[in-house]
Structure 1
């Protein structure tokens, strides 16, 4: 394991560790530039992290919140990353609506991607650099909505794209590798034994980012529970 791997006994500990690290980096950005930007992942893993972030308490009036990716579903759909974040962070944390920049999943995918790209670039410029990007890892090795075999894994010029994910029979809107890898701080949160093979492949498997897109995150700072790292040497 590397010095950029932080291992905790359980998922709660990993979530708390990641939340504290994010808070420290956002506060540094606010101190330096007066504002900060954060892009978060969806799914179920970040819920504990979001709840910890509410307990820590951030100055959300100075933080712009974005998403790493989103399913093309309405914002009140059970699959919506925005809905999960709203229920676990935005509402309980009291985030100002004008600081929340969601992906419009209720729109047609390409139009939603274009609109989201515009929102990102309006705040961060045409070469956007987030202060913090927080990613996860799927049990199949995907990260963001970059799934195994997706050619856009190799893209280093685009910011946002609409992608059809065949295995999910679903359109997604996702940040592309360029803004993810350009982040001032890139964190990965992963927990559970079901992620152990994916974490091992991401960090120690033969180099194959097209087959294991989460290998893009090898230079990130990882926050995991013991179960997720059980196969690491």
Structure 2
């Protein structure tokens, strides 16, 4: 698992955007499309604001959500809301293919099955080109929350958390889908992440993030998050 350290969160966002842009270009050149899964968080949205300035064939890019909170459409707690805001004014909203997780459905279990089907239909094999992940100060990633049974799901690519986390239940990609991805890019910023970053680098299975496949993972962190390393 490779780690790159940058001075500030802003530099991390810029480097992540540059790295993902290069991967998108290569992926489209190789097979005509690219599947990108995005998690939430302040630094990732800054990364997206930079990435959308790239002159890419956005109509060939398929964006999926790694996870989503159960909240009304347009609610600020929704990752989708923040994603749309990061793309506003870029001119790509009418070109890029965004596949939202619907968390206001009457049957969220059915929604998890439907989202999994969409991923398989779009990618053709259920393998995402690149998954972006964040790291919580409690060791969670995506909505794979410490102590939640969702962390033990191995027979589904998308699942529901059983307990609310920070007040809301969530839909999340599970380990099987994330670990099949061709590449995983971690964005880790802030001194409150320092302990968990070290445990992630040590592949500590005691935290959800430590169970992500390290073989195809790149960590982009700021100095604050790496202060104990």
Please say if 1:214 is aligned against 2:205.
Answer: no
Partner of 2:109: 110
Using the TM superposition, give the Cα deviation of residue 91 of structure 1 relative to its aligned residue in structure 2, in angstroms.
5.2
Question: Structure 1: where are the runs of 5+ without partners?
Answer: none
Partner of 1:67: 65
Over the aligned positions, Cα root-mean-square deviation in angstroms equals 1.9
Alpha-carbon separation, structure 2, partners of 1:98 and 1:6: 29
| Closer, same or farther: CA 64–177 of 1 in aligned 2, 3 Å | same
| Closer, same or farther: CA 98–88 of 1 in aligned 2, 3 Å | closer
Alpha-carbon separation, structure 2, partners of 1:218 and 1:123: 23
Using the TM superposition, give the Cα deviation of residue 162 of structure 1 relative to its aligned residue in structure 2, in angstroms.
1.4
Normalised by the size of structure 1, how large is the TM-score? 0.89
Give the length in aligned residue pairs.
226
Partner of 2:94: 96
**Is the CA contact 2:53–2:90 (under 8 Å) kept in the aligned structure 1?**
no
Partner SS, residue 55 of structure 1: coil
Alpha-carbon separation, structure 2, partners of 1:39 and 1:90: 19
Partner of 2:141: 143
Q: Which residue of the other structure, out of 20, 23, 26, is the alignment partner of 1:22?
A: 20
Partner of 2:179: 181
Partner SS, residue 181 of structure 1: helix
- Aligned positions of 1:1-233 closer than 5 A: 4-89=2-87, 92-96=90-94, 99-108=97-106, 109-125=108-124, 127-204=125-202, 207-208=204-205, 211-217=206-212, 219=214, 220-232=217-229
Using the TM superposition, give the Cα deviation of residue 200 of structure 1 relative to its aligned residue in structure 2, in angstroms.
1.6
| Closer, same or farther: CA 105–57 of 1 in aligned 2, 3 Å | farther
Alpha-carbon separation, structure 2, partners of 1:179 and 1:9: 32
Using the TM superposition, give the Cα deviation of residue 165 of structure 1 relative to its aligned residue in structure 2, in angstroms.
3.2
Alpha-carbon separation, structure 1, partners of 2:74 and 2:150: 28
Partner SS, residue 228 of structure 1: coil
| Closer, same or farther: CA 218–122 of 1 in aligned 2, 3 Å | closer
Using the TM superposition, give the Cα deviation of residue 170 of structure 1 relative to its aligned residue in structure 2, in angstroms.
2.0
Alpha-carbon separation, structure 1, partners of 2:46 and 2:100: 20
Normalised by the size of structure 2, how large is the TM-score? 0.91
Larger CA deviation: 196-205 vs 176-185: 196-205
Which digits, 9 at most, give the CA deviation of each residue in 1:60-91, with x for residues without a partner?
Answer: 10011101000011220010000000000265
Using the TM superposition, give the Cα deviation of residue 93 of structure 1 relative to its aligned residue in structure 2, in angstroms.
4.9
**Is the CA contact 1:202–1:218 (under 8 Å) kept in the aligned structure 2?**
no
Partner SS, residue 144 of structure 1: coil
Greater fraction helix: 1
Using the TM superposition, give the Cα deviation of residue 92 of structure 1 relative to its aligned residue in structure 2, in angstroms.
2.6
**Is the CA contact 2:198–2:228 (under 8 Å) kept in the aligned structure 1?**
yes
